[in-house]
Amino acid sequence: MIPAERHQHIIEALREQSFLSMATLAQMLSVSEMTIRRDVAELSSRGALLAVRGGVKSLAIPTSGSMREIENRLLLRAALSYLEGCRVIFFDSGVICRQLAHLIPWSSGMTAVTNDFNIAHDIMRHTQAQLLFIGGELNRNDSSCHKVLALNSLEKLNFELLFLSPGSWNEKGIWHHEEHRQAWYSQLMSISHRKVILAESGNYDQRGMFKLYSLADADVVISNKISIERLLNGSIDPLKLHPVSPIV
């Protein structure tokens, strides 16, 4: 079997299972694990799959699940289009950013930065990327660090790309019930070259007493909220808005 045929078989197998070990692929294609590793290196360099410890992972976004899950996957697919060769990427805390981190085609030359313990754990276990975890006092409610020690860690850093996933947002801005996060996000926004907000429809106008930042502070606002253009009319530059059409 020539390499091109093996590559096709590997891609097709990952459509059925999101993760396959090197040993499984070698047995399935009747070749050595060394051959599989070469195939995986080639496919990974082309962005066709993600090489992780012990095997490979699909970069395809599944199409099954609830309506909200499917719409969020469209949001994530849009977010991937803003990577643009960035090698140092900061991930905000939250489920959407954690899902996005799983889809990034990481390499050893890239660096993931986050204050989310769960995202850091995933990056460490499943990718070849460098990892910088912004630690400090851990908030057990969302497994993140935002207080003084974490804030001080930002002083000497800067990031090419920042992905934000607000738990509560509306046309007036991003909100949270913890006041101390205002200082965190003010500093984080100031040291990030390109800022992308993932404004999930399910988090629109949720509870939040303190305003963290404005939608206008971002370079891009991606949202799957219905009629987002009308909703944000006058709130942000329309060129910053990336609407994702919900499935109907």
In tens, the pLDDT along 81-91 reads 999 889 999 99
In the chain, the domains with their CATH numbers are 3-58 (1.10.10.10), 67-243 (3.40.50.1360)
> Mean pLDDT for each 10-residue chunk of the chain (248 residues)?
86 79 89 92 82 78 55 87 94 93 92 96 91 93 92 94 96 93 96 96 88 96 92 90 75
pLDDT computed for residue 63 by the predictor: 47
pTM value? 0.73
CA distance 225 to 199: 8
Q: Could you give phi then psi for residue 97, rounded to 5 degrees?
A: -65, -35
Q: Could you tell me if 61 and 104 are in contact, meaning their C-beta atoms sit under 8 angstroms apart?
A: no
CA angle 144-59-105, nearest 5°? 65
pLDDT computed for residue 64 by the predictor: 46
- In what order do the strands lie in the sheet containing 19-21? 19-21, 55-58, 49-52
Alpha-carbon torsion (28, 30, 34, 37), positive or negative: negative
pLDDT computed for residue 20 by the predictor: 85
**Eight-class DSSP state of 11:** H
CA distance 39 to 4: 9
- State the Rg of the chain over Cα: 19
Selection from 121, 51, 91 nearest residue 192 by Cα: 91
CA angle 233-236-242, nearest 5°? 85
pLDDT computed for residue 168 by the predictor: 94
pLDDT computed for residue 202 by the predictor: 87
User: What percentage of the chain has pLDDT greater than the value 90?
Assistant: 59
